[in-house]
Structure formats: structure tokens, C-alpha cells
Amino acid sequence: MKFTLSWLKRHLDTTASVDEIAEALTDLGLEVEGVVNPVEKLRAFTIGKVKEAEKHPDADKLKVCQVETRDGMQQIICGAPNAREGITVVIAHPGVYVPGIDTTIGVGKIRGIESHGMMASERELELSEEHDGIIELPSGEVGQSFADWLADHDPARVDPVIEIAITPNRPDALAVRGVARDLAARGLGKLKPLDTPNIDGDFQSSVTVTVDADTQDGCPVFCGRMIRGVTNGPSPQWLQDQLKAIGLRPISFLVDVTNWFTYDLNRPLHVFDVDKVAGNLRVHRAKGGEQIVALDDKTYTLSAGQMVISDDNGVESIAGIMGGAATGCTAETVNVFVESAYWDPVQIAYAGRALKINSDARYRFERGVDPAFTPEGVDHAVRMITDHAGGEVSNFIQAGRVPDTSRAYRLEPARVISLVGMEIPESEQRQTLTALGFKLEGDMVQVPSWRPDVRGQADLVEEVARIASLTKLQGKPLARATAGVPKPILTPMQARLRAARRTTAALGYNECVTYSFIDSTAAALFGGGDDATMLENPISSDSSPS
């Protein structure tokens, strides 16, 4: 899971540094696997001004530039077409490593004339793919750090990227907001409120949705809205920057919106081009043998029982995993249907594994997204689409109902001491759980819908201890029942076994512990190998029965 610092700050009001955030995340159980801070690789570059630029006497495309730098006036040879007198540039001094060309700059001669450094392009600094000319800055003082200038004038270019490891039991941390919630509970800032969109439909959607009776266990609820008259095109720069920072390629605004909400709120979405949909949408199970060309331009053959979304033309989407190319959005798309559904984690995992598709949607659905957020997720996406791409919004479409995940457990403050060994005041325990989104009524704690991993009192204790920090846990010796030397606790048989092992090892022997599993052919020779003793998931073909 990757996100940028500015993205995190959309949800978390904090002044904490990147290092403080990284340390807190690992301590909270969201282990930081890496932090990429673009400032660090740009720190050595400084700002300079070109005072003179004359044609190289022995090269038509080169210019001999006199550049005012932090080290005084320096002569730099440059082949960029925009190198000219009066511009403000970025200087790589001798000894500076340039990441885009994997080279350390030195003092050299180009066609017989010395060059003391280099004026850099954006691609050479890995800021973009632009390399038609050197960077021209609208402002900047000679000798100023280019990294500091960027931080003040274009902070998105130097936005640190944080990558964390997500354990299967924490699907809520697959949302930037979920990460922000944990940090706020720890005290590294305040969680900003999430506005609930209030959207009134302007017309009746021409697309409706039905879920087959035998599929409702796999898709309890399916929601959506139609938008007509949108203008698809490139996404706003801030959206493109955030997607690029986490390794996603911006495609078009309608597609980028779905990818962004997948990470921002852990709400996978899909957008259908309504003009390519024949009739209405139907959620059902595949009969087996149907084929679909997915958005990755690969053809998949479906197995019987896998959940799909179809129209009158056939299968248009592999439910919860990947949409189909036939109804995908393009630059010409003007009418869309935004889908937000809840899919059963186990069934998505089976289908994704069988089809060998690893998508962001599958990764989240098989771990469990927030079912209660399914209807609201539609409106968040619809509001962003209409704000940036225009269009009229239809009435709200819903098939099925949100599954009831409500459950509550009794809060027993003393259990933190008995289970963890930490003394945490009851008021702090209650405050922690409230900050994490739990609702407390008396001594009963209502679990939020986005925490499928909390299944008992012990899990409440774990949350309290996790936020308080297990690093504060201090080792204490167990109290002795009586004074003096305690009585031996090993039985005579245990003592003899220990002595025999030590003696055998002292004589140079090795103790081997082997599996009791053998292959089915050998087991059959001894009356075994039948279904009663067969392992369902053996670690190898030689270890199938017990």
C-alpha cells in the first residue's frame, strides 16, 4: 500500500514529519517497507542564472554559457535548444550525481572547451519525461537549493511516498483514510471529517440492475448512478501526480477516479459506458465457457459459478475483479453508469485465483471492504466526476441491501492487564476505541463496519494496546508462591529424556525429527493411504497421506 504525504494530509491534520509518521506506523502494526523522498536526490542541485550564451566555435548545436552559480561565474557547455542569456536554471555541480542519466558530473572538455557542471532537464532529475530543453524557472535566487524551491513553488514534485505492508486482517488500512485514522488515534494529528455527498437525481436512470437469487450470497448489494453529458479527458494535475507517485499510470479522468477512490477510501468502483451497454445490467453466475476481453486486453474463459455482470450482449465484467473492454470508457464517452457493489471475499478470492488476475479490486474485495460504505461510495465518485467533468446525475439505483455486520462486545478494562500486562486507565481505553471509530454505549463496544477483524473482547484489548504502543510493555518477573528454591517441575521421565539427549549429542550423534507423512503407495503397503488419512493440501506429492 503506497500513498504520499500530501495525500495523507487530505485526511489527517498533522505537523508530524515523515520520519515521525513512519516510526508511528511501524509501531502501530502497519510496517513501513520504504519511504521515497524526492527531496533527498535533489538536495545537491542549486539554482543559477545564465549571463551569456554564445555558439560553440567547433559545434553548431552547442553553446558556451557563462552561468552565475553558488561558486561564482562558471563556464558550462550546453546543447539544449532553449539555453540562452537571462534564464534561471538548475545546476549540477562537479561531483553531483544525476539520477536520470546515472552519471556523476565532473569537469570536462567538450570540443576543446572546459565545462564546469551541467544545466539539467526535468528527465535528468526524474521529475518527468520532458527532455526537449533544460529547466527554466520563473524565479529563484542564485545558490538556492532547487529542492527547497520546489517545496515552496511545486510541492507535488517533492511529495514523499510511503509504502506500508498490510496484513490480511487489516483491510481498513488499504485506504489512506484508514491509515490516517490510526495515526490520529495515536496522537499524530486530527482526523478530518469526511463529508457525505448530498446528491439529488435529475432524471430516471435508463439502466437498472438485478441480482439473481442464487448470486445474492456473493453480491448482497449493488448500487449505482447514471451520469449523462460528461466530458472525459485528462485528469487534473493533482490527481495525475498522486497516481503516478504510487506507481499507477493516469489513463483518463473517468478511469483515474475509480483508481483514486480504490486507494483513498478503499472503495473499488467501475464505470460503464452507457452507450455501449445493451439493455440493463444483471449480476449472475457464469454457466461456464463464456469469454470476455477484460480491460487489460486479455481474453478470459469463465468457469461455472463465477460471478459476472452481463447485459443483453453477454458478459461485460468479471464481478469484483476486472471490467470488460467492450463497455469501458474512452475519450469519446459521454454517458456513464458508476457501479459500487459489495462482493463476498471468499468467492472473489476463488475466482481471482482461478483466472490468475491480480487487480487492485480483487486484492481489496478478497480481504473485505466496508459493506456499509457501498452506497455512499457511489456518491463520492459521482460528485468528483460532475465537479470536474460536468454532467447530469440520475436517481440512485440499488439492488439488494447492505449486509448487517453489526456486533458488540463488552469492554472489560482489567483484561488489558491480564492479556497484555499493561496498565492503561479505563478513560484512555475508551478514548482510544472512540478515536478508531468504535461506538461505546455503557460498557458495550459497537464494532465499525470497516473492521471485520475485530471478533471478540481480546481484539478490543489488542486495539487498545496497539495504539498505546507495545514498546511501553515492561518485563516483570512472576511472583513466587513460596520463598526459597522452588521444587523441580520436570517429571522423572522428562529428566531422563533430557539427560539421554544431552548424552547422545555429546557422543557426536544428531537428533532427526521427521514428518510422519509418506506417499500413498508406501502407505498402502501398511494398510493406509485411504481417504480417511489423506491430506487435502500436502506440502509435496510424497507426503499426501498421514
Give me the helix-helix angle, 253-264 and 176-186, nearest 10°: 30
pLDDT at 331: 92
Alpha-carbon Rg for the chain in angstroms: 31
Residue-level pLDDT, tens digit, the chain, 546 residues = 999 999 999 999 999 999 999 999 999 999 999 998 888 889 899 999 999 999 999 888 899 999 999 999 999 999 999 999 999 999 999 999 999 999 999 998 898 899 999 999 999 998 888 888 999 999 999 999 999 999 888 887 788 999 999 999 999 999 999 999 999 999 999 999 999 899 989 999 999 999 999 999 999 999 999 999 999 999 998 999 899 889 999 999 999 999 999 999 999 999 999 999 999 999 999 999 999 999 999 999 999 999 999 999 999 999 999 999 999 999 999 999 999 999 999 999 999 999 999 999 999 999 999 999 999 999 999 999 999 999 999 999 999 999 999 999 999 999 988 898 889 999 999 999 999 999 999 999 999 999 999 999 999 999 999 999 999 888 888 777 777 777 788 999 999 999 999 999 999 999 887 777 888 888 888 888 788 878 877 777 776 665
Amino acid (one-letter) located at 480: R
Taking CB atoms within 8 Å and a gap of at least 24, the contacts of 209-214 are 209/280, 209/281, 209/282, 209/283, 209/397, 209/399, 210/280, 210/281, 210/282, 210/283, 210/399, 211/282, 211/283, 211/284, 211/399, 211/400, 212/282, 212/283, 212/284, 212/285, 214/284, 214/285
Distance CA 337, CA 270 (A): 8
CA torsion, ordered 412, 418, 424, 428, to nearest 10 deg: -20
CB 147 within 8 A of CB 45: yes
pLDDT of residue 473: 86
In sequence order, the β-bridge partners of residue 307 are 285
Cβ-contact 382, 258 below 8 angstroms = no
* Residues forming CATH 2.40.50.140 domain(s) in the chain: 41-149
Question: Do residues 174 and 368 lie in contact, with contact meaning Cβ atoms separated by under 8 Å?
Answer: no
Residues 333-365 have pLDDT tens digits of 999 999 999 999 999 999 999 999 999 999 999
Asked if residues 25 and 164 have their Cβ atoms less than 8 Å apart, the reply is yes
- Residues forming a β-bridge with 54: 64
The torsion angles phi and psi of 97, rounded to 5 degrees, stand at -85, 130
Contact 307, 319 (CB under 8 A): yes
Structure confidence by residue, pLDDT tens digits, 126-141: 888 888 899 999 999 9
Q: Which three cell numbers stand for residue 364?
A: 481489496
Q: Where in the chain is the domain with CATH 3.50.40.10?
A: 209-400
Superfamily of chain region 41-149 = Nucleic acid-binding proteins (2.40.50.140)
Amino acid residing at 364: R
- Residue 424 phi/psi, 5-degree rounding, is -120, 125
Residues of the chain with CATH 3.30.56.10: 2-37+160-190, 408-472
Topology given in CATH for the domain delimited by 209-400: Phenylalanyl-tRNA Synthetase; Chain B, domain 3 (3.50.40)
Residue 546 has a pLDDT of 54
CA distances for 132 relative to 24, 81, 135, 364, angstroms: 43, 8, 10, 41
3-state secondary structure 81-147: CCCCCCCEEEEECCCCEECCCCEECCEEEECCEEEECEECCCCCCCCCCCCCCCCCECCCCCCCEHH
H-helix or E-strand spanning residue 316: strand 314-318
Question: 307-329 b/e with 16+ CB inside 10 Å = b?
Answer: bbbbbeeebbbbbbbbbbbbbbb
Burial profile 165-187: b = 16 or more Cβ within 10 angstroms, e = fewer: ebeebbbbbbbbbbbbbbbbbbe
Cell of 440: 461505546
- 100-158: per-residue pLDDT in tens? 999 999 998 898 899 999 999 999 998 888 888 999 999 999 999 999 999 888 887 78
Q: Which of 534-542's residues contact partners 24+ apart within 8 Å by CB, and which partners? A: 542/517, 542/518
* Residue appearing with cell numbers 482461478: 354
Specify the pTM. Answer: 0.80
Say yes or no: domain 2-37+160-190 is CATH 3.30.56.10. yes
Contact 224, 378 (CB under 8 A): yes
Cα–Cα distance between 327 and 330 in angstroms, integer? 9
CATH tag, 408-472: 3.30.56.10
pLDDT at residue 475, rounded to an integer: 82
What kind and span of H or E run contains 176?
Answer: helix 176-186
Q: Are strands 322-323 and 335-342 parallel, antiparallel or unpaired?
A: unpaired
How much is the pLDDT for 37?
Answer: 87
Those residues with Cβ within 8 angstroms of residue 87's Cβ, 6 or more apart along the chain or in another chain: 49, 50, 136, 137
- Per the DSSP assignment, residues forming a β-bridge with 425 are none
